């Protein structure tokens, strides 16, 4: 067996499912993470993140002895780095996690090993990672200096799985494989073929990096188009959802859906990696980011107008006596992930600025995060009974079949 032991560095939303899937194919997997608590949880056969069915796969992998987590890297035949690549205050990519991971695995590398960068990265990051590895291990040769004869193979193979469908998409999606040389790509294909049923398509590392950024920027630009349309239509008194449905009947038009903004950990981040490398050229991509980032503020203003409208219709009431209900907090429908969610930003802001009561309906969580202060979690029926302004933020399936209550409705998703 070529890759007997696989090490996955970074046991988050991508690394842990990937480690578990390798383990389910009976490879010995060493998961590495700096978070001691996460390591302990995984070694108990539990998970510290939310992803459908992942708990079962991890539990089986750990109890059958194929998956073990540790904070200190150990020798393996292949290393997959799946650590975060956030951006800094000025939207510059922060490669410090990749740097730490590279420096952590360098001491245990041996001739013949394969190192893969999976983290979404700016163009050039794989070469940078290889440079960090080479600096730490002058006794080994790397593709940037020794080409096909190098001791260590290096590739970039970006993950492209959709949160909520990770286990299925990991196996079924096509995989872009960007080796630093042809042999690096071939080795990476052999590794992924252990579980990938989709096609493994070979390119070079820089194209693979750009490919991932392009996919998410494509989506961001298209969502920005929909969001801008919704603002234009609001001004012109046109129902944007009817408009989009009509326009999409054209055989070559396919407009996405407007919403309260773009959330999640990828689409709102990755386009900046293109902008920061090529600021002069990436104009449309930057403006799209700005359009999507400004949408929550526009929604908040709509809610303020709705409160004023309510008070005009109910002159005996004051703002203090107006209850706003926010429907949905997750960053997209039918998940419980509240991180990087425009619905959270809007709810938090309303809780801070509105003098009356703010309530929340989020059927996918049992309690609210501590950072939302002064807001109560209620069920749907209670909310529509007491709310004066009803703000629909997430198009959860369970909201679609329901009808909003009395009062003024602000529907950012067009389902009511
Ligand atoms: N959104 C809209 N309107 C739409 C579609 C989405 O407002 O028409 C919003 C969602 O509500 C959400 C945000 O965009 O707030 C992002 O949601 P998403 O479902 O588009 O994407 P993510 O962030 O869950 O996952 C994306 C995926 N990328 C693409 O579809 C190109 C996924 O395949 C990637 O693996 C993932 O980013 C990632 O890890 O990069």
Q: What tens digit of pLDDT does each residue of 272-306 get?
A: 999 999 999 999 999 999 999 999 999 999 999 99
Nearest atom within ligand 1 for CA of residue 120: 40
* pLDDT score at 248: 98
402 band by pLDDT with thresholds 50, 70 and 90: confident
Q: Which helix (H) or strand (E) holds 329?
A: none
Find out whether 351 and 289 touch, Cβ atoms under 8 Å.
Answer: no
How many percent of the chain have pLDDT more than 70? 100
User: Catalytic amino acids?
Assistant: 212, 266
**Does the pLDDT at position 1 exceed 80?**
no
In angstroms, the Cα distances linking 304 to 300, 350, 356 are 6, 9, 12
Average pLDDT, the chain: 96
**Does the pLDDT at position 386 exceed 80?**
yes
**Does the pLDDT at position 183 exceed 80?**
yes
**Does the pLDDT at position 405 exceed 80?**
no
Which residue among 13, 169, 212, 219 has the greatest number of ligand 1 atoms within 8 angstroms of its CB, and so is best to mutate?
219
Ligand 1, atom 32, residue with closest C-alpha = 162
CA of 166 to the centre of ligand 1 (A): 13
Residue bearing tokens 């999409």? 248
Please state the rounded mean pLDDT for residues 197-211. 98
Domains, the chain, with CATH or none:
5-198 (3.40.50.720), 216-411 (3.40.50.720)
Q: For the segment 365-380, what is each residue's pLDDT rounded down to a tens digit?
A: 999 999 898 999 999 9
* pLDDT score at 50: 81
Task: Supply the pTM of this predicted model.
Answer: 0.94
Ligand 1, atom 1, residue with closest C-alpha = 262
Residues with CB under 6 A from ligand 1: 120, 159-163, 215-216, 219, 223, 256-257, 259, 262-264, 266-267, 331-332
235 band by pLDDT with thresholds 50, 70 and 90: very high
Closest CA to 208 of 117, 286, 93, 284: 117
Q: For the segment 242-265, what is each residue's pLDDT rounded down to a tens digit?
A: 999 999 999 999 999 999 999 998
Phi, psi dihedral angles at 274 (to 5 degrees) = -75, -45
Q: Give pairs for 87-94: CB < 8 Å, separation 24+.
A: 87/269, 87/272, 87/273, 87/276, 91/272, 91/275, 91/276, 92/276, 93/121, 93/122, 93/125, 93/272, 93/273, 93/276
Q: Determine the Cα–Cα distance for residues 222 and 404; give it in Å rounded to an integer.
A: 29
């Amino acid at each position: 067996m070529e890759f007997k032991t696989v090490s996955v560095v970074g046991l988050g939303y991508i690394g842990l499912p990937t480690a578990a899937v390798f383990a389910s194919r009976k490879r010995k997997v060493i998961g590495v993470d700096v978070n001691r608590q996460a390591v302990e949880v995984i070694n108990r056969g539990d998970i510290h993140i939310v992803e459908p069915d992942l708990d079962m796969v991890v539990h089986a992998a750990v109890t059958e002895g194929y998956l073990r987590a540790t904070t200190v890297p150990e020798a393996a035949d292949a290393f997959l780095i799946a650590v975060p690549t956030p951006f800094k205050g000025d939207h510059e990519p922060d490669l410090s996690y990749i740097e730490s991971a590279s420096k952590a695995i360098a001491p245990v590398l041996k001739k013949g090993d394969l190192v893969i960068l999976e983290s979404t990265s700016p163009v050039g990051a794989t070469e940078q990672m290889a440079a960090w590895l080479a600096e730490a291990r002058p006794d080994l040769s790397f593709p940037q200096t020794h080409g096909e004869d190098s001791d260590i193979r290096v590739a970039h193979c970006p993950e492209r799985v959709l949160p909520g469908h990770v286990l299925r998409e990991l196996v079924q999606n096509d995989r872009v494989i960007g080796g630093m040389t042809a042999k690096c790509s071939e080795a990476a294909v052999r590794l992924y073929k252990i579980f990938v049923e989709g096609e493994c398509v070979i390119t070079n590392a820089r194209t693979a990096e750009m490919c991932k950024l392009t996919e998410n920027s494509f989506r961001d630009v298209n969502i920005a188009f929909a969001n801008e349309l919704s603002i234009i239509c609001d001004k012109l008194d046109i129902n944007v959802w009817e408009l989009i449905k009509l326009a999409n009947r054209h055989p070559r038009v396919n407009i996405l859906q407007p919403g309260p903004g773009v959330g999640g950990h990828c689409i709102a981040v990755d386009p900046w990696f293109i902008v920061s490398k090529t600021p002069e050229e990436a104009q449309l991509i930057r403006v799209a980011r700005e359009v999507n980032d400004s949408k929550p503020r526009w929604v908040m203003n709509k809610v303020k107008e709705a409160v004023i409208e309510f008070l005009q219709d109910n002159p005996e009431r004051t703002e203090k006596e107006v209850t706003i209900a926010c429907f949905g907090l997750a960053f997209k429908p039918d998940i419980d992930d509240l991180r990087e969610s425009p619905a959270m930003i809007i709810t938090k802001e309303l809780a801070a600025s509105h003098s009356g009561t703010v309530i929340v309906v989020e059927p996918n969580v049992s309690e609210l995060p501590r950072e939302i202060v002064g807001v109560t979690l209620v069920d749907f029926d209670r909310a529509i009974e007491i709310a004066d302004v009803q703000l629909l933020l997430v198009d959860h399936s369970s909201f679609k079949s329901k009808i909003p209550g009395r009062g003024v409705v602000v529907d950012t998703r067009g389902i009511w």
